[in-house]
Amino acid sequence: MPKKHEKNKFSITVCGEFFPEIYPAHRSSKWSRGEEDPLTTEMRLFCACMRWAFNRLLEGASRHEIKKSGQELFGLNSRYADDARLKAQALLDSQTELLKLENEETEEKLGRARKKLSLAMRKLAKAEEKGAASEVIEKLRLAVKGRNKRVVSLAKRLAELKDYREKGTIPEVVFGGRRLWEKVCQGRAAREKWRHARRNRLYSRGDESKGGNPNIKIFYDGQDFRLAVSLSHLSEQTGIDKLGRPRMSQAPRVEGKLWLPEKHRELVQIWLAMKLPYAVELIRTLEGRYLVHLTFEVVRVQEPDFAKGCLAIDTNPDGVALCNVSASGQPEPWPEGFSVPYPGNLGKYEGEFQVIPYPNGFLYIRIPDLAHASSFRRSYLIGVLAKVVVDIAFFSGKPIVLENLNFGKDRLDTNKKFNRMASNFPFAKMVGAMYRRATKEGVPFKLVSPRHTSTIGYWKYMKRYAVSVHCAAALVIGRRAMGFRERVTEELRQLVSQIKQNLTRKVNPDRPEEGKGMTRRVRACLRRLEERLSGEQEAYNSVWPDLKLLALSVR
Per-residue pLDDT tens over the stretch 520-537 = 777 777 777 777 776 544
Pairs from 417-421 (Cβ < 8 Å, separation ≥ 24)? 421/317
Q: Is 280 exposed, middle or buried (0-12, 13-18, 19+ CB in 10 A)?
A: buried
| CA pair distance 171, 174, nearest whole angstrom | 10
236 vs 454, residue with greater confidence: 454
As a whole number, mean pLDDT of residues 352-381 equals 87
> Residue 7: its pLDDT value, please?
45
Query: How long is the chain?
Result: 555
Q: Say yes or no: 416 and 538 in one domain.
A: no
> Residue 446: its pLDDT value, please?
87
Is residue 81 in a domain?
no
Does residue 549 contact residue 526 with C-beta atoms inside 8 Å?
no
> Residue 231: its pLDDT value, please?
93
400 vs 240, residue with greater confidence: 400
Report in angstroms the alpha-carbon separations of 263 from 15, 16, 237, 267, 443.
11, 12, 43, 8, 18
User: How do residues 150-164 score in pLDDT, each as one tens digit?
Assistant: 999 999 999 999 999
| CA pair distance 89, 170, nearest whole angstrom | 13
Is residue 80 in a domain?
no
Q: Which one, of 334, 343, 547, 359, lies nearest residue 457 by Cα?
A: 547
| CA pair distance 137, 432, nearest whole angstrom | 50
As a whole number, mean pLDDT of residues 64-74 equals 90
> Residue 342: its pLDDT value, please?
81
| CA pair distance 431, 477, nearest whole angstrom | 15
> Residue 553: its pLDDT value, please?
67
| CA pair distance 458, 405, nearest whole angstrom | 18
> Residue 489: its pLDDT value, please?
76
Does residue 86 contact residue 205 with C-beta atoms inside 8 Å?
yes
Q: How confident is the model at residue 210 (pLDDT cuts 50, 70, 90)?
A: confident
| CA pair distance 392, 359, nearest whole angstrom | 17
CATH number for the domain including 441? 3.30.420.140
Q: Which of 103-107, 265-269, 418-422, 504-508 has the lowest mean pLDDT?
A: 504-508
Q: How confident is the model at residue 299 (pLDDT cuts 50, 70, 90)?
A: low
Domain count, the chain: 2
As a whole number, mean pLDDT of residues 425-443 equals 78
Is residue 373 in a domain?
yes
409 vs 205, residue with greater confidence: 205
Which run of H or of E encompasses 250?
Answer: none
> Residue 518: its pLDDT value, please?
64
Does residue 1 register a pLDDT over 60? no
| CA pair distance 316, 365, nearest whole angstrom | 10
Coil vs helix vs strand at 231: coil
Q: Which one, of 256, 215, 268, lies nearest residue 80 by Cα?
A: 215
Q: Say yes or no: 369 and 441 in one domain.
A: yes
Q: Say yes or no: 435 and 496 in one domain.
A: no
Q: Which of 439, 459, 482 is the last residue of a domain?
A: 482
359 vs 2, residue with greater confidence: 359
Query: Is residue 293 left, alpha or beta, with left meaning phi > 0 and alpha meaning psi from -120 to 50?
Result: beta
As a whole number, mean pLDDT of residues 465-477 equals 92
Q: Say yes or no: 407 and 545 in one domain.
A: no
Q: Which of 458, 482, 506 is the last residue of a domain?
A: 482
Q: How confident is the model at residue 325 (pLDDT cuts 50, 70, 90)?
A: very high
Tell me the residue range of the domain where 403 lies: 310-482
Q: Say yes or no: 474 and 508 in one domain.
A: no
Q: How confident is the model at residue 246 (pLDDT cuts 50, 70, 90)?
A: low
| CA pair distance 479, 25, nearest whole angstrom | 66
List CB contacts of 400: < 8 A, sequence separation 6 or more.
304, 310, 311, 313, 389, 390, 393, 434, 438, 443, 444, 445, 446
Q: Say yes or no: 318 and 453 in one domain.
A: yes
Q: Say yes or no: 477 and 505 in one domain.
A: no
| CA pair distance 21, 282, nearest whole angstrom | 16
pTM higher than the cut 0.75: no
User: How do residues 112-171 score in pLDDT, each as one tens digit?
Assistant: 999 999 999 999 999 999 888 999 999 999 999 999 999 999 999 999 999 998 988 899
- Chain center to CA of 555: 32
| CA pair distance 8, 29, nearest whole angstrom | 47
Is residue 539 in a domain?
yes
> Residue 2: its pLDDT value, please?
38
Is residue 390 in a domain?
yes
| CA pair distance 330, 307, nearest whole angstrom | 13
As a whole number, mean pLDDT of residues 43-62 equals 94
> Residue 468: its pLDDT value, please?
92
Q: Say yes or no: 371 and 510 in one domain.
A: no
Report in angstroms the alpha-carbon separations of 183 from 178, 180, 196.
9, 5, 14
> Residue 3: its pLDDT value, please?
42
| CA pair distance 297, 12, nearest whole angstrom | 6
> Residue 495: its pLDDT value, please?
79
Q: Say yes or no: 472 and 539 in one domain.
A: no
| Helices 63-74 and 78-130: angle between axes, nearest 10 degrees | 110
> Residue 537: its pLDDT value, please?
46
- Looking at the chain, the whole-number percentage of residues with pLDDT higher than 90 is 41
Q: Say yes or no: 348 and 475 in one domain.
A: yes
> Residue 304: its pLDDT value, please?
85
Q: Are strands 310-316 and 400-403 parallel, antiparallel or unpaired?
A: parallel
429 vs 347, residue with greater confidence: 429
Q: Say yes or no: 411 and 328 in one domain.
A: yes
Q: How confident is the model at residue 413 (pLDDT cuts 50, 70, 90)?
A: low
> Residue 534: its pLDDT value, please?
65
| CA pair distance 138, 20, nearest whole angstrom | 68
Q: Which of 18-22, 250-254, 274-278, 349-353 has the lowest mean pLDDT?
A: 349-353
> Residue 118: its pLDDT value, please?
94
Does residue 312 register a pLDDT over 70? yes
Helix (DSSP H) and strand (DSSP E) numbers for the chain = 16, 15
Q: Which of 452, 482, 512 is the last residue of a domain?
A: 482
Residue type, 525: C
What's the mean pLDDT when you consider all of the chain? 84
Is residue 220 in a domain?
no
User: How do residues 252-287 score in pLDDT, each as one tens digit?
Assistant: 999 999 999 988 888 888 888 888 899 999 999 999
Is residue 203 in a domain?
no
| CA pair distance 143, 121, nearest whole angstrom | 9
> Residue 125: its pLDDT value, please?
93
Is residue 48 in a domain?
no
Q: Say yes or no: 545 and 434 in one domain.
A: no
